[in-house]
Structure 1
Amino acid sequence: MTKKGRIFKTIRAYFGKHPSGIFAWLWVTLMPFVGSVIFAANYDFLDDYQLYTALDYFIYTVIGALLMGLALLPTTLIALASGFYFGWVSLPFLILGYSLASILGYVLGKLTNMGLTEKLFKKNPKFHEALEARKGKEGSLVFFVRISPIVPFAISNFLFANLNIKLWKVLVYGIPGMLTRTVLAFAAGVLASSYLAAKESMNSPLQWGIGIALLIIGVAGIYGYVKKSRK
């Protein structure tokens, strides 16, 4: 059996005994889409909310962290809505909420897949050795995964947790990686005349061009990380 075959066999055996792990992965994969559909039908409730007091900003930060950390809404959608409804003043608190969401998602990834990494290492020592050889380059992996639009935020939190990447690296390298997409979506919300216009602007040629550029950068960075690690 090949190394990949042994790895997938170990994962299947683990999830066979830990169905909560399967549920958690399905949750972070599907729920952001479900949340987006629900939000699209009810977004106008935000017309009644404004950020005035310290308590308002605290509540905004906590709710944002929970929505992103629990994979209830995509980070880009929250950035877009925040830009339109609350303006630039909310951006620092959005980034703070994003940081807290990273911690929450990472911890949940650890808890719901407890023991999976250890089993993989035990059954596949070469896989363990390969990851150990990459230890010094984990920061670049985090950065390029975050900057790439193909890996959703919630899934990447679980991925980093299961690869045993240190939480501080996820924060230090992940936040700069995520900022580009976050600020672009946020700015689209700020500049739009309505929320629907803001959403439509995300499909403009400029946004598509930037998205493709970020995709190329992310994929090239991840490929470079893997290639260098094999040397």
Structure 2
Amino acid sequence: MGSIFKTIRSYFATHPAGIFAWLWVVAMPILGSVIFAANYDFLEAYPLHTPLDYLAYLVIGALLMGLALLPTTLIAIASGFYYGWVSLPFLILGYSLASVLGYSLGKITNMAFTELLFKKNPGFRKAVESRKEKEGSLVFFVRISPVVPFAISNFLFASMNIKLWKVLAYGIPGMLTRTVIAFSAGVLASSFLAAKESLNSPSQWTIGAAMLIIGVGGIYNYLRKK
């Protein structure tokens, strides 16, 4: 394990773009949330009426999520509150496009990371390759878990060389539960701030805890030895 962390430190020391990208996906959603929380009411001026409106919603949403500018949960709440159920299919499609974008950026900024890690740590390579058939379940449980943010998981999957089709095929079903919960909170709320606050209710905490247990259990099943 020490050798793995040494390799990671060595990689980031010689690949500043890689460490910048990781810091970006960690910090930017937090900063974006603060900015959005102070200016959320501007969405009232942009209703969805025409096909062009929906196209703009789709593209902008995909960019905000794919570039880690806003958390997916916040976008789901805002979409539910301001646009209602009619926007849900476009939100899910936006997630798909954002997954492709985030995964691709993870690949570009961490292009040589996996190869270096495998070269320096043959045992780690063997462990990862022995779990290839379980990659789909890992993607699903990481996505359903509230612990790992969307943007970080995109980089994680790219760094692990998990195929993009698996990220989409297993990741979207995993995201649906979290998405629908946040989206529903927005639809049912009397205000955007009330929607955010509703996520702190006992029932939401119970659901969140259940998803956490399911997600952690699935990740543990992936990590444990055969």
TM norm. shorter chain > 0.5: yes
Per the alignment, residue 176 of structure 1 pairs with 173
1:88 and 1:22 map into 2 onto residues whose CA distance is: 38
Per the alignment, residue 74 of structure 1 pairs with 71
- Shift in Å, 1:84: 0.2
Q: Quick one: which amino acid aligns to residue 48 of structure 1? A: A
1:18 and 1:222 map into 2 onto residues whose CA distance is: 29
1:18 and 1:52 map into 2 onto residues whose CA distance is: 46
Alignment of 1:155-170 (within 5 A): 155-170=152-167
Q: CA RMSD in A?
A: 0.6
Per the alignment, residue 119 of structure 1 pairs with 116
2:176 equivalent to 1:143: no
Per the alignment, residue 220 of structure 1 pairs with 217
Identity of aligned residues (%): 78
Q: Quick one: which amino acid aligns to residue 20 of structure 1? A: A
- Shift in Å, 1:199: 1.0
Alignment of 1:177-216 (within 5 A): 177-216=174-213
Cα distance per residue 1:204-224 (max 9 Å; x no partner): 111111001100010011111
Cα distance per residue 1:181-212 (max 9 Å; x no partner): 00000000000111111111111111111001
Q: Quick one: which amino acid aligns to residue 108 of structure 1? A: L
2:80 and 2:3 map into 1 onto residues whose CA distance is: 46
SS across alignment from 1:71: coil
Q: Quick one: which amino acid aligns to residue 183 of structure 2? A: F
Per the alignment, residue 16 of structure 1 pairs with 13
- Shift in Å, 1:36: 0.2
Per the alignment, residue 86 of structure 1 pairs with 83
* TM-score (norm. length: structure 2): 0.99
Unaligned runs of 5+ in 1: none
Per the alignment, residue 58 of structure 1 pairs with 55
Per the alignment, residue 98 of structure 1 pairs with 95
- Which stretches of structure 1, 4 residues or longer, exceed 2 Å deviation after superposition? none
2:221 and 2:104 map into 1 onto residues whose CA distance is: 28
